[in-house]
Structure 1
Amino acid sequence: MNYFTKETFTFLSALKRNNNKEWFHLNKDKFEEYVRNPFLKFIVDYEPYLNKIAPQHEAIAKKSGGSLFRINKDIRFGNRDEPYKTWISAQFRHNKGKDYTSPGFYLHIEPNQCFFGAGIWHPDTLTCGKIRKSIFDNQDDWLKIKNKKSFKENFEMKGNSLKKLPKEFLDCSEVEIDLIRKDFVIDHLLTKEEIMSPDLLKKIIKLTELSSDFVSFLTNSVGLKFK
C-alpha cells in the first residue's frame, strides 16, 4: 500500500510557508489524513518485522509517547514564531534505553530531505566513551561491519567529530576516524518517489536488516542487549 502521497509533501511544504498556530489548526484535518495517520499505519506494519530483526527495539504507534515524534517544536530551543517542525519523523529505540544512551533506527520525511538512519546521535560523554572503547577493543569486528559491501553501498557515516584523537587511543590508525566521532550514525537518502511507493515498507525493512549489525555493535557497546 501507499502510506504517503504527494499530499503529504504538499502539506509539509505549505506548513513551512505558514508556520503558525492559526494556519495549522485550520488545516489539522489534512495533517491527520496525509501525515500523521499514514505514519502511524506505517509503524503498525513495520513493528512485526522490526521485532524479528531487533527484538529489543520498539515500534510504538501512538500519537504521543510512542515512536512518532511530535510535530510541535520544543520552543525552549527554537524560534517561538515558528512552533512546528516542517518534517515528520519516527525513532525506533531500545526498550530500556533513553534517547541519548540507546542506538536505534530512524525515518525522516521532509520535502527536501528524506532518509533512513541508524545509530546514536549526540550521546552523552559516558555513552560516547563506552562506544569508543568498544571500537578500540574490538577493531576487527567493527571494521568487518563497516567494510561489508552491502553496508558501504547503502550507508554513509554522518555526524560531528573531535579535532584530535583522545590520548588513550593512540596507534590505532585503522579506526582512528571512528574514535574521534561524537556521533555514531549512518543514513541512506530516500527520494520522494520511494517514500510514496507501495514498496516503502519493503525498502525500510531491507535497510533495517542491512544496518542491524551496526546497531547491534553499538547497542552491546553501551551495555544493552540487541537480541
Structure 2
Amino acid sequence: MITPALFDFFRELRANNNRDWFNENRARYEQDVKAPLLRFITEFAGPLQTISPHFTAIPKVGGSLFRIYRDIRFSKDKRPYKEAAGVHFRHAAGKDVHAPGFYLHLAPDEVFAAIGIWGPGSKELLRIRQEIARHPDTWTGITQDPDFLSVFSEGYEHQKLKRAPKGFDPNHPLIEDLKCKHFVASCPLSEKFVCTPDFPVKLAQTYSHGAKYMEHLTHTLDLPW
C-alpha cells in the first residue's frame, strides 16, 4: 500500500519543485503516491465506519485525496506543487476541507494524523465558541481526558486571536480555547508506521481516541454522528 517510495518522491520534489522535474517524474507520482493512496482510502472506508458512519472515504483526487497542485494565484510563493500528500475524511454533510473530519498528512519528517475542523466558517466558529463558553466543564472533560491526551496531545495553539473574540468575556476560564481559529488536535506518526500492511486498522484505532472530541464538534454544528 503506502511504501517508502512515497516519501522518496516528496524528498526529491522538495529540491526540484518545478514543472519540468514533475513532468519527468509524473509516472512516479502516479505509481508511488496517487495509486497507493487511492487504494488506502478505499481500504480505510471500512475501519472508518467503525468510528462513525457519517464520514466519507472517497477514493479520488478532489475527494479524500488532496490535489498536488498548489493554488499560487495570490501567493508570493510560486512553487507549483505541494511537498506533502494530504488525505481528508470529511463529514458527509461537508463539501471541502473546512468540514469536520479526520486528516492524514504525509511528508518527509512530518507525518501526522489530525482530527477536528480547520478554518470553519464564521457561523460555525461562533457556534463552537458559544458551546465551549456555555459548557466549559464538558469541553474540558473531553480535551483533558487522559485517553484523548495520550494520543492527541498536539494542537494549533500558535494560530489564535491575540485578544478575546468579540462578545466573549476576556476573563473566561477557557479564554485561550475561545481564541482558537481552528479546533484541531494532532498526533505525530512515523514513516515506518504508515508503511505497515495493517495501517488502515491502526489509523482507525488512533482516530478512535479522538471520537468524543469529534462527536462533540459534530453535534455542536447540528450534524449527525
The reply to whether TM is greater than 0.5 is: yes
Alpha-carbon deviations, 1:115-139, whole Å to 9, x = none?
0011111222221111001112222
1:223 maps to 2:216: no
Equivalent pair of 1:20/1:81 in contact (CA under 8 Å): no
Shift of 1:78: 3.4
CA–CA distance in structure 2, aligned partners of residues 222 and 16 of structure 1: 38
Deviation at 1:82, TM superposition (A): 2.0
1:79 Cα deviation from its structure 2 partner? 5.3
In structure 1, the partner of 2:128 is 131
Give the match for residue 115 of structure 1.
112
Which sections of structure 1, spanning at least 5 residues, go unmatched?
Answer: none
Deviation at 1:158, TM superposition (A): 1.6
Partner of 1:91: 88
Task: Deviation per CA, 1:129-155: give whole Å up to 9, x if none.
Answer: 110011122222211111211111111
Does the 8 Å contact 1:101/1:222 carry over to 2? no
> What TM-score comes out, normalization by structure 1 length?
0.90
Where do residues 25-64 of structure 1 align in structure 2 (5 Å cutoff)?
Answer: 25-62=23-60, 64=61
CA displacement 1:82-114 (0-9 Å, x = unmatched): 211111111111111233652111000001211
Is 2:88–2:97's contact at 8 Å kept on the other side of the alignment?
no
Matches within 5 A, 1:1-227: 3-62=1-60, 64-78=61-75, 81-99=78-96, 102-155=99-152, 156-159=154-157, 160-166=159-165, 168-170=167-169, 171-173=171-173, 175-226=174-225
Query: Quick one: structure 1 residues 210 and 77, their matched pair in 2 at CA, closer, same or farther if it must change by over 3 Å?
Result: farther
209-218 or 135-144: which moved more?
135-144
Cα-Cα RMSD: 1.8
What is the identity, as a one-letter code, of the residue corresponding to 1:19? Answer: N
Alignment check: 8 A CA contact 2:161 2:181 kept: yes
Corresponding residue SS for 2:218 = helix
Gaps in structure 2 of 5+ consecutive residues: none
Query: Conserved in 2, the CA contact under 8 Å of 1:165 and 1:179?
Result: yes
Give the TM-score normalised by structure 2: 0.91
- How far apart are the structure 2 equivalents of 1:121 and 1:45? 25
Measure how far apart 1:202 and its partner are: 2.5
Would you say the 8 A contact 1:102–1:219 is kept in 2?
no
What is the aligned-residue identity percentage?
36
CA separation of 1:74 and 1:131: change in aligned 2, threshold 3 A: same
Q: Identify, as 1 or 2, the structure richer in helix.
A: 1
- In 2, the alpha carbon distance for the partners of 1:65 and 1:99 equals 9
Distance in 2, Cα, partners of 1:60 & 1:77:
29
Aligned partners of 2:15 and 2:190: how far apart in 1? 22
Q: Match for 2:190: what amino acid?
A: T
Question: How many pairs align?
Answer: 222
Structure-2 separation of matches of 1:163 and 1:81: 29
